[in-house]
Amino acid sequence: MRQIDHFIVGGAPAATRFADVMDPNNGGVQAQVALGDQAVLDQAVAAAQAAQPAWAAMNPQRRSRVMFNFKALIEKHMDELAHMLSAEHGKVIADSKGDIQRGLEVVEFCCGLPHVMKGEYTQSAGPGIDVYSMRQPIGIGAGITPFNFPAMIPLWMGAVAISVGNAFLLKPSERDPSVPNRLAELFIEAGLPEGIFQVIHGDKVMVDAILDHPAIGAVSFVGSSDIAHYVYNRGVAAGKRVQAMGGAKNHGIVMPDADLDQVVNDLCGAAYGSAGERCMALPVVVPVGDDTAERLKAKLIPAIEALRVGISTDEEAHYGPVVTAQHKAKVEGWIQTAIDEGSELVVDGRGFKMQGHEEGYFLGPTLLDRVTTDMESYKEEIFGPVLQIVRAPDFETALSLPSKHQYGNGVAIFTRNGHAAREFASRVNVGMVGINVPIPVPVAYHSFGGWKRSGFGDTDQYGMEGIKFWTKVKKVTARWPDGSPYGGNAFVIPTMG
């Protein structure tokens, strides 16, 4: 059985605990990943402490060159990485390339970091006094990441953290751990000093050890909301800077004037792409008015029935299997709950079998209508290929649905009416908004982050928000006397006159 070890300086010690890495396309176990403990973390932290000061002291343009090299290596190994990713996650190859590409774009942003790291300077803020500020790295940071984007999310955090001079410890999901290790190898090949980007595998034991470790100054987490909340509270209680992104239930509002053919195309991709296992998926559609609902449903049904589910390497497939058998059972359970709660089952994706891959974790697409806000299946995240229709009588009701939902990650409105779109974007209580854009993940030089139970902490991922998270600002007030006597009263709080 293939074994996946930690990527740490000095080599991984013999592991005593392992987790199974499943094969979503065929079922069964394909590898085992080591689950680390305090001793593994201590070894990685010691290496990080040894390497970080010299890395932080390096000219920023030299750190940039490492990122340029790394970018070229990811491009060179795109196919290999995509196949590795799909084999453990289950998403189709084209989608894995998208996962890697969105991470790569953050690496590209990091190539230009010397420019954005420049501080502020005020000459003659007082007599002979200059004031300046500089951004300095935290020291050692850690990232804890989910299974659904095993390339993009580690790079959201890790690329920014190291570019500004930190050492970074990545604790990836134990369900698809191979790509993170490969990224660590490519960083070394790109010229990154040993100890600056290490990968420590594990479960709650490792996460708790990270949260309590006194040498780790900042922790970035992405995963489900209950764990995000736990990580946030425990990390902050230990005196760390923490950002913790959680789950989602994104709504797509369809106004009566929307281009329904375009909407159906967008909804199929955003609800069922990656088998619905995206935090920016659109699992809820809100048609405004019954007429819109009926027209939309009539177009959606044949489009959904035409979707092709396939193994990850099937180039014609729209989406592949979900990640594990347990997750498949959980999604099927939610479909049953939705029916029991009174939703109308329009298309049933349960019981789908892939010929030749009968043990794989496949689910056909499901469509549910007449879903209401009191249903548990509406309130909670399903994270599978399931689209729920919640009908709204008017714009105000449609606006209130995502605004009142416990999650506030992303939302989209489909309309030709500029005023309605503008009003919606300004008033909706959600962190990321798409206007005729179903998956509004901001580009790498903006920032990513949801609101309410989708995000704990006050900074977002990547862009300037990422730089803020991974740095501290030092403020220097300097006086260079010109020989004339200083006339101030030393016992009064200094003012600049």
Contact footprint for ligand NAD (CB under 6 A) = 144-149, 171, 173-174, 203-204, 207, 222-224, 227, 245-248, 279, 381, 383, 409, 450, 454
329 CB-near residues (< 8 Å, 6+ apart) = none
8 A C-beta contact, residue 338 and residue 390: no
Nearer to ligand NAD, 206 or 264 (CB): 206
Residues contacting residue 49 through CB under 8 Å, at least 6 positions apart: 140, 167, 215
Q: Three-state secondary structure along 80-130? A: HHHHHHHHHHCCCHHHHHHHHHHHHHHHHHHHCHHHHCCCEEEEEEECCEE
Between 96 and 173, CB nearer to ligand NAD = 173
CA distance linking residue 289 with residue 295, whole number of Å: 10
Q: How many residues are present in the chain?
A: 497
User: 279 or 387: whose CB is closer to ligand NAD?
Assistant: 279
By C-beta, is 230 or 362 nearer to ligand NAD?
230
Which residue, 150 or 287, is less far from ligand NAD as judged by CB?
A: 150
Structure tokens at 487: 């006339």
The angle formed by the CA atoms of residues 147, 158 and 145, to the nearest 5 degrees, is 20
- Residue 398 CB, shortest distance to ligand NAD, in Å, is 22
Calpha distance 319→334 (Å, rounded): 20
Radius of gyration for the chain, computed over Cα atoms and rounded to the nearest angstrom: 25
Q: Among residues 113 and 144, whose Cβ is nearest to ligand NAD?
A: 144
Cite the DSSP H helix spans in 112-221. 113-116, 152-163, 178-189, 204-212
d(CA 424, CA 427): 5
Q: Which is nearer to ligand NAD, 287 or 384 (CB)?
A: 384
Interacting residues of 288 by C-beta distance below 8 A, sequence separation 6+: 253, 254, 255, 256, 392, 393, 394, 395, 397, 398
Our CB check for ligand NAD shows the closer of 258 and 467 to be 467
For residue 40, the Cα-to-chain-centroid distance in whole angstroms is 25
Annotated catalytic, 279?
Answer: yes
CA atoms of 359 and 146, how far apart (whole Å): 24
Tally of CB atoms within 10 A around 29: 12
User: What residue is closest to ligand NAD based on CB?
Assistant: 223
* C-alpha separations of 379 from 68, 74, 401, 405 in Å: 43, 39, 11, 7
Main-chain dihedrals φ then ψ at residue 168, nearest 5 degrees: -130, 135
Single-letter code of the amino acid located at 21: V
Alpha carbon separation from 306 to 63, 74, 268, 394, 416 (Å, rounded): 49, 34, 10, 31, 27
**CA angle, corner 152, sides to 97 and 234, nearest 5?**
155
110, 111, 268, 279: the catalytic one is: 279
Catalytic residue positions?
279
